[in-house]
Amino acid sequence: MSVAEREPATEGTAIVPASGSRRNLIPRRLRNPWGEPRFLVAGTWIYIAWALVPVVIAILFSFNAGRSRSVWQGFSIKWWWGDPNLSIFHDSDYTHALVHSLLLAGLDMVIATPLGVLLALGLTRWRGRGSGVANSLMLIPLVTPEIVMAVSLLVVFTQLALVPFSLIHLGTTAQVVGQVTFSLSYVVIIVRSRLAGIGGQYEEAARDLGATPIQALRLVLIPLLLPAILASMLIVFALSIDDFVVTQYMSSNSTTTTIPMYLYSNARGGTSTPALNALATILVVVTLVGVTVAYLLYTIVGKRTGSAGTGASALRELSGIEAA
Amino acid sequence: MGERLGGGQVDVSATAVESRASYWRSFALPGVAWLVLFVVVPAYAVLAIAFGRVNFLFQPVPYWNPLHWNPGYVSKAFSGSLPGGEYWPSIRNTLVYVGVSLSLCFAIGYPVAYYVARHAKRTKTLLIVLLVIPFWVSYLLRMLAWIGLLSPDGYVNQILQWIGISHPPDWLNGNPYSVIMALLYGYIPYFILPVFAGLDRIDKSQIEAARDLGATPFRAFLHVTLPLSKASIMAGAALVVLPMFGDYYTNDLISASPHTNMLGNEINLFVQGGSQKNLGAALVLVLMAILAVGMAYYLYATLRDQRRLA
């Protein structure tokens, strides 16, 4: 990148002689700690190793032959399959947690995505009294620590004897409501940044050609928004399946335990086996399957509408980097 | 729809514009209703509990009418949060751990984001993928990984013993360094990604202009790249700091000792552990007050920068 920044610009054309002569006093190597990327290259790779190697080790330990989660005792798949009692697929605690995690993620996705897309459309287009308040309302879940949301939802669901709150009991319903509440804003942010990129002209063209507002929305805007909708579905899925705080506060008993909750309560116990690592690995596999499916759909949609990038840019959009 | 009016449709009557406004407002309605029900009402409920009382069974009783509010728990929580108070150790731990973790996030994360955004060429896509992966890996798994590595017979101690340190520290029982490292490890991806995106968006011609005007590469970085990435640094810092302030599970997993309690742990203990929900709710107000101070500074700084640019 930017040759100009890294290498001193062609020495002969240095306009300011003072800076040119000063430059010669410093050894070329030390002139610019940022321009010389060697430190940065090493630092970046060390960071990446530090970020990923522990995860890889934790995943490998799910294949440990012994009971230890910290000392390697040979390779085995018994914690995954094989052992009739201790393998994750033979222990109902584990399978139940997995099924419940997937159920919550699915429900969260189905509710939060349409609600968020509509809210994003409304907030972008609606100019008038109340729209400012609605906008800041949407931002509240993003700037509130999760424990605050969890405590406040727990309070209304257990203390407020008023319809709709008295109808929502701790357990699956409360967990879904809590998860939708914090994932809604992510959908809005992603869809809204996409809407800003599309602009109003396509819709206007459709309207000028005689489409009703609903038709313009259905036939023009929604197809253009599909990549963003996909990205938000993926983010909601990942947020839900990885969520711990709200899901734990909203849970009722062992039947509403999710994988993160199970990991939390057993991670430090001396009795837990590498099956716990296997369970955590499943969480990662499920998320990565989600990412892959979303990526494939994204590229298909992108090719059809010509509105989405591929490769790295697709990945960046799917991770919500562009919306950040 | 002001653009439409400008676009030659002069005959659009005021009522049409008005009805279109309500058309779009109806889209926002379900979402807004959801947020009012499950964000605004619960927030008020926390106030009602914090200013409430307990009944004869020590169960919390919310007081919905502000005129009947009982300030006891809130004043106890706030006075206890001052230096010397009952909750001060947790407040101090929170401020120190978050401060140190945030500084390390910047010291480590900024150079990484800078390298990937501005210098990486052939490896750029690969690096982006590698930076995004932790984002998709469960937070709990990443903590689980460190519990394995830091356990008494884990790889960290094995390496230390191999180097010659025969009595490695106890990492997993009340060790503040482990907690800070875990917070850093858990949240740094959320700092790097927005900073990377911000640096990647910078128009290179601006840096080239600075260089053409005689700035050394370092000065060009200091006076062009760094100020232009300031907004994304602030965004990354906010993304990291907000969840850290409410975090209790990292501490529970890595330390599990009251010595390293953070504010989140106190709240969690009061709300989920015992019958002191009122006090827990009052401590939530303390947490929000601390964050409000931070947020006010954030808004002030952003507005000041915008005004300076304008």
The CATH number assigned to the domain holding B98 equals: 1.10.3720.10
CA distance B39 to B41: 6
Q: Test A147 with B172 for CB contact under 8 angstroms.
A: no
| A254, A255, A257, A259 alpha-carbon torsion, rounded to 10° | 120
Look at residue B166 and tell me if it is in a domain.
Answer: yes
State pLDDT tens for residues A71-85. Answer: 899 998 888 887 777
Q: Is the pLDDT of residue A98 over 90?
A: yes
- Give contacts of A51 with chain B, Cβ < 8 Å: 130, 133-134, 185, 188-189
pTM, 2 dp? 0.86
pLDDT at A315: 66
Tens-digit pLDDT string for chain B (310 aa): 344 444 444 444 455 555 667 888 889 999 999 999 999 999 999 999 999 988 877 788 888 888 889 999 999 999 999 999 999 999 999 999 999 999 999 999 999 999 999 888 888 889 999 999 998 899 999 999 999 999 988 999 999 999 988 888 899 999 999 999 999 999 999 999 999 999 999 988 988 899 889 888 889 889 999 999 998 999 999 999 999 999 999 999 999 899 999 999 999 999 987 768 899 999 999 999 999 998 898 888 888 888 887 7
Q: Test B211 with A165 for CB contact under 8 angstroms.
A: no
- In A228-267, the residues whose Cβ lies within 8 Å of chain B are 238, 241-242, 244-245, 249, 259-260, 263-264, 267
Q: Test A315 with B216 for CB contact under 8 angstroms.
A: no
| Cβ–Cβ under 8 Å, residues B121 and A33 | no
Residue in A with minimal Cα distance to B33: A134
pLDDT at A15: 43
Q: Is the pLDDT of residue A311 over 90?
A: no
Of B27, B135, B149, the CB nearest to A319: B135
Look at residue B71 and tell me if it is in a domain.
Answer: no
pLDDT at B33: 95
Q: What is the DSSP letter of B54?
A: E
pLDDT at B110: 96
Query: CB neighbours (10 Å) of residue B256?
Result: 14
Q: Is the pLDDT of residue A35 over 70?
A: no
Residue in B with minimal Cα distance to A2: B204
Q: Tally C-beta pairs within 8 A across A and B.
A: 340
Q: Test A128 with B25 for CB contact under 8 angstroms.
A: yes
Residues of chain A with CATH 1.10.3720.10: 92-318
Q: Test B284 with A152 for CB contact under 8 angstroms.
A: yes
Q: Is the pLDDT of residue A4 over 50?
A: no
**Pairs from A222-225 (Cβ < 8 Å, separation ≥ 24):** A223/A305, A224/A194, A224/A198, A224/A305, A224/A307, A225/A117, A225/A191, A225/A194, A225/A195, A225/A198
Q: Which of A7, A30, A151, A315 to mutate to test the interface with B (most CBs of B within 10 A)?
A: A151
- In A93-112, the residues whose Cβ lies within 8 Å of chain B are none
Chain B interface includes A29 (CB < 8 A): no
Residue in A with minimal Cα distance to B255: A268
Q: Percentages helix, strand, coil for chain A, rounded to the nearest 5?
A: 70, 0, 30
Chain B interface includes A41 (CB < 8 A): yes
For the question of an ipTM over 0.90, the answer is: no
CA distance A96 to A77: 20
| Cβ–Cβ under 8 Å, residues A65 and A78 | yes
Residue A307 — very low, low, confident or very high, per pLDDT cuts 50/70/90?
Answer: low
Q: Is the pLDDT of residue A24 over 80?
A: no
Q: Test A9 with B115 for CB contact under 8 angstroms.
A: no
User: Residue type for B108, please?
Assistant: I
Q: B260 to chain A, minimum CA–CA distance in Å?
A: 16
Residue A120 — very low, low, confident or very high, per pLDDT cuts 50/70/90?
Answer: very high
Token representation of residue B272: 């989920």
| Cβ–Cβ under 8 Å, residues B246 and A147 | yes
pLDDT at A25: 58
Chain B interface includes A147 (CB < 8 A): yes
Q: Which CATH class is domain A92-318?
A: mainly alpha
Q: Which of B17, B59, B98, B138 to mutate to test the interface with A (most CBs of A within 10 A)?
A: B138
CA distance A202 to B39: 35
Tell me which residue range forms the domain holding B137. Answer: 87-274
pLDDT at A14: 41
pLDDT winner (highest mean) among A172-176, A287-291, B131-135 = A172-176
Q: B250 to chain A, minimum CA–CA distance in Å?
A: 9
pLDDT at A105: 96
Q: B52 to chain A, minimum CA–CA distance in Å?
A: 12
- Give contacts of B232 with chain A, Cβ < 8 Å: 324
Number of domains in chain B: 1
Of A15, A283, A324, the CB nearest to B141: A283
Task: Print burial letters for B62-76: b (CB count within 10 Å at least 16), e (below 16).
Answer: bbeeeeebeeebbeb
- In A277-316, the residues whose Cβ lies within 8 Å of chain B are 277, 280-281, 283-284, 287-288, 291, 311-312, 315-316
Look at residue B20 and tell me if it is in a domain.
Answer: no
State pLDDT tens for residues A125-136. Answer: 887 778 889 989
Q: Is the pLDDT of residue A8 over 70?
A: no
Q: Test A57 with B45 for CB contact under 8 angstroms.
A: no
B61 sits in which H/E element: strand B60-61
Look at residue B102 and tell me if it is in a domain.
Answer: yes
